[in-house]
Amino acid sequence: MSTTVGEQDSDRVTSSQVPLLSLRGITKHFGPVQALQGVDLDIPRGQVTALCGDNGAGKSVTIKIISGIWQQTHGDLVWEGERIELHTPREADHLGISTVYQDLALCDNLDIVQNMFLGHENLRHHLLDEISMESYARKTLADLSVTTVRSVRQLVASLSGGQRQAVAVARAVMRDAKLVILDEPTAALGVTQTAQVLQLIRTLADRGIAVLMVSHNLNDVQSVADRIAVLHLGRMVSEGDVAEYDTQSIVQLMTTGERGEVVPDRLRPPVVEIAPEV
Q: Residue 58, interface with ligand ADP (CB under 6 A)?
A: yes
**Partner whose binding site includes residue 61, from ligand ADP, Mg ion, none (CB under 5 to 8 Å by kind):** ligand ADP
Report the nearest approach of ligand ADP to the CB of residue 216 (Å).
9
Q: Nearer to ligand ADP by C-beta: 166 or 229?
A: 229
Beta-strand relationship, 210-214 and 179-183: parallel
CA separation (Å) from 175 to 96, 128, 257? 8, 18, 37
Q: Does 127 contact ligand ADP by CB under 6 A?
A: no
Whichever of 52 and 170 has its CB closer to ligand ADP, that residue is 52
Q: Choose between 28 and 59: whose C-beta lies nearer to Mg ion.
A: 59
Report the number of secondary-structure helices (H) and strands (E) in the chain.
Answer: 8, 13
Binding partner of 55, given Mg ion, ligand ADP, none, CB within 5-8 angstroms per partner class:
ligand ADP
The reply to whether 149 sits near ligand ADP by the rule CB under 6 A is no
| Dihedral of alpha carbons 133, 135, 138, 142, sign | negative
In single-letter form, the type of residue at position 214 comes to V
Which helix (H) or strand (E) is 239 found in, with range?
Answer: strand 235-241
Shortest approach of Mg ion to residue 188 CB, angstroms?
15
User: Among residues 60, 67, 193, 194, which is the contact residue for Mg ion, using CB under 5 A?
Assistant: 60
217 scored as a contact of Mg ion (CB under 5 A): no
- CB of residue 59 to Mg ion, shortest distance in Å: 5
Q: Does 275 bind ligand ADP (CB under 6 A)?
A: no
> Which value, in Å, is the radius of gyration of the alpha carbons in the chain?
20
Pick from 38, 46, 56, 161 the residue near ligand ADP by CB under 6 A: 56
Of 24, 50, 48, 61, the closest CA to residue 233 belongs to 61
Helix runs in the chain, H state only: 59-66, 89-95, 112-116, 130-143, 161-174, 191-206, 218-224, 247-256
Binding of residue 55 to ligand ADP (CB under 6 A): yes
Could you give the CA distance from residue 198 to residue 203 in angstroms, rounded to a whole number?
Answer: 9
Q: Which stretch binds ligand ADP (CB under 6 A): 13-21, 59-67, 107-115, 157-165?
A: 59-67
CB of 26 to ligand ADP, least distance (A): 12
Instruction: Please tell me whether residue 271 adopts helix, strand or coil conformation.
Output: coil
Window 60-119: residues binding ligand ADP (CB under 6 A)? 60-61
Name the β-bridge partners of 183: 214
What is the phi/psi pair of residue 175, to 5°? -100, 55
Give the binding site for Mg ion (CB under 5 A).
Answer: 59-60
Give the binding site for ligand ADP (CB under 6 A).
Answer: 30, 33, 35, 53, 55-61, 277
